A and B are shown apart, each in its own frame.
Chain A
Amino acid sequence: DPKIIQKPKYLVAVTGSEKILICEQYLGHNAMYWYRQSAKKPLEFMFSYSYQKLMDNQTASSRFQPQSSKKNHLDLQITALKPDDSATYFCASSQDQTNTGQLYFGEGSKLTVL
């Protein structure tokens, strides 16, 4: 059974609209992350949360807003969508906020912006 659930798996949006990507982890981890993978760039770190607090944000645009309603949830809201936002967004978690521990990834949400 998948331990990190991402919804939806695929989504198509029109330019200018807004979407929310859902992530839940059932590993009992304290830290959660968002990474983005596009055809043009390698896997890029976006955000990290630890105990529901934002720890790091490497996203240049404020159109990307993480939301953590519970310790095991980290959703990603994307507003004013652009075609360049088309990518697969991966949620990940680790036991604690550290960059030396194993990351566990979900299967990703593939977003296409038309």
Chain B
Amino acid sequence: GNSVTQMQGQVTLSEEEFLFINCTYSTTGYPTLFWYVQYPGEGPQLLLKVTTANNKGSSRGFEATYDKGTTSFHLQKASVQESDSAVYYCVLGDRNSGTYQRFGTGTKLQVVP
């Protein structure tokens, strides 16, 4: 079945450091991959979305590239700010299998000044 794996439970960085969050997925169909971000006291909100057609997405300085060979969808940002502190979820959808978006376990990013 479809699944998403985020191995990093928490990442702590200083401002202006490089961010890299791992995500791998498993599906038998045609994935659409998302990164959602959740700030304290709020629901998740879409950060970026990538399909097999466009392979790469970016938003607010964050980038993610879909790699079919390694079934990975890592999130990167060149220089983080304290305001980026939040929980980041890698999410899998598949138009040919499954009826709902499957969330990874989330990676809590803490950026210290």
List residues of chain B with CB within 8 A of the CB of A104.
Answer: 45
Interface flag for A66 (CB, 8 Å):
no
Q: Which A residues fall within an 8 A CB radius of B?
A: 4, 33, 35, 42-45, 48, 55-56, 58, 90, 92, 97-108
- Give Cα A104 to B105, complex, Å: 19
**CB-defined A-B contacts under 8 Å, sample of 20:** A4-B43, A35-B103, A42-B103, A45-B103, A48-B100, A56-B100, A90-B44, A97-B99, A99-B32, A99-B93, A99-B94, A99-B95, A99-B99, A99-B101, A100-B51, A102-B49, A103-B101, A107-B43, A108-B42, A108-B43
Tally of contact residues, B, Cβ under 8 A: 24
Nearest CB on A from B28, distance (A): 14
* B43 CB contact (under 8 Å) in A42, A44, A45, A90: A90
Q: How many angstroms from the CA of A106 to the CA of B44 in the assembled complex?
A: 8
Q: 7 tightest CB-CB pairs across the interface, nearest first?
A: A105-B43, A99-B93, A100-B32, A43-B103, A42-B105, A45-B100, A56-B99
